[in-house]
């Protein structure tokens, strides 16, 4: 079944640890996105990708990095987690040039807590 | 600069009453406007988009370029409409995407 998967769903980790948030989609979409959302606040785009080996930073500055080696996979990495990174991270995807042009499909999210 | 403004964080209406969730935007050029909804314990999902000009679950939204607004309306609210609603704006190319802060709608039985 076509879907977007994010793992882990919840992560509690200590300061200074390296973490990778996984996002995979079986939608066959070319574009993928990462958003950060603090409680009661808007979603902020932090990274996006238009295809393999294409990544761009979004509107909100982030210390995280992303990679897009495979179309279906778009992991986000924090080299050294800090309490300020505590947030919910949402992954999304969309397909260029269809009737659903620009519609984004979202994963379930990863709630990260850095102690 | 704030791109999408949703002035109401919380909105409560009685079942059967009309509901309007406000959204104003600021963007140079021709944006595409969306409403996304997140029901309790579910994912964020698209509700409707201005290009489609359709009614979904009884909701409609009209893009008013003069007032730069994209308010979401429903004539008779239902309990199942209780959810978090986000207004969003995209450039036509899709490489810029901005969400509002969201409005939590509660429909009182």
Cβ of A56 and B32 within 8 Å?
Answer: no
Given a cut of 70, is residue B33 above it in pLDDT?
Answer: yes
Tell me the chain A residues in contact with residue B102 when contact means C-beta distances shorter than 8 Å.
40, 42
The minimum CA-CA distance between A62 and chain B, rounded to whole Å, is 16
Per-residue burial over B70-99, b = 16 or more CB atoms within 10 Å of its CB, e = otherwise: bbbebeebeeebbbebbbbbbeeebebbbb
- Measured between alpha carbons, how far is B6 from B99 in angstroms, rounded to an integer? 9
Burial of B28 (0-12, 13-18, 19+ CB in 10 A): exposed
Cβ of B95 and A48 within 8 Å?
Answer: yes
Q: Which of B9, B49, B99 sits opposite A103 (nearest CB)?
A: B49
- Measured between alpha carbons, how far is A50 from A32 in angstroms, rounded to an integer? 7
In three-state secondary structure terms, A104 is coil
Looking from the CA of B92 toward its CB, the CA atoms found within 13 Å total 4
Best to test chain A binding among B36, B99, B102, B103 (most A CBs inside 10 Å): B99
In three-state secondary structure terms, B80 is helix
Dihedral, B77, B81, B86, B89 alpha carbons, nearest 10? -70
Cβ of A43 and B99 within 8 Å?
Answer: yes
Given a cut of 90, is residue A79 above it in pLDDT?
Answer: yes
Given a cut of 70, is residue A99 above it in pLDDT?
Answer: no
- Measured between alpha carbons, how far is B87 from B4 in angstroms, rounded to an integer? 7
Instruction: List, for residues A14-57, the tens digit of each pLDDT value.
Output: 999 999 999 999 999 999 999 998 877 788 889 999 999 999 99
Instruction: Return the pLDDT at B61.
Output: 94
Confidence of residue A59 (pLDDT cuts 50, 70, 90): confident
């Amino acid at each position: 079944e076509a879907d977007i998967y994010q793992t882990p769903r919840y992560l509690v980790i200590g300061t200074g640890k390296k973490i990778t948030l996984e996002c995979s989609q079986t939608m066959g979409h070319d574009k993928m996105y990462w958003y950060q959302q603090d409680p009661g606040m808007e979603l902020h785009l932090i990274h996006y990708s238009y295809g393999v080996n294409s990544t761009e930073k979004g509107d909100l500055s982030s210390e995280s990095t992303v990679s897009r080696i495979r179309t279906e996979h778009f992991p986000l990495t924090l080299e050294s987690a800090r309490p300020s990174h505590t947030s919910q991270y949402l992954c999304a995807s969309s397909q260029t040039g269809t009737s659903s042009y620009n519609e984004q499909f979202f994963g379930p999210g990863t709630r990260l807590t850095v102690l | 600069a704030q791109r999408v403004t949703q002035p109401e964080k919380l909105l409560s209406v009685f079942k059967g009453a009309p509901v309007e969730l406000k959204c104003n935007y600021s963007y140079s050029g021709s944006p595409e406007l969306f409403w996304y909804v997140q029901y309790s314990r579910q994912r964020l999902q698209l509700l409707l988009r201005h290009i489609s000009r359709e009614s979904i679950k009884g909701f409609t939204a009209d893009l008013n370029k003069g007032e730069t607004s994209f308010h979401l309306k429903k004539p008779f609210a239902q309990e199942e409409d209780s959810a978090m609603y986000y207004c969003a704006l995209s450039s036509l190319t899709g490489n810029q995407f901005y969400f509002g802060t969201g409005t939590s709608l509660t429909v009182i039985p």
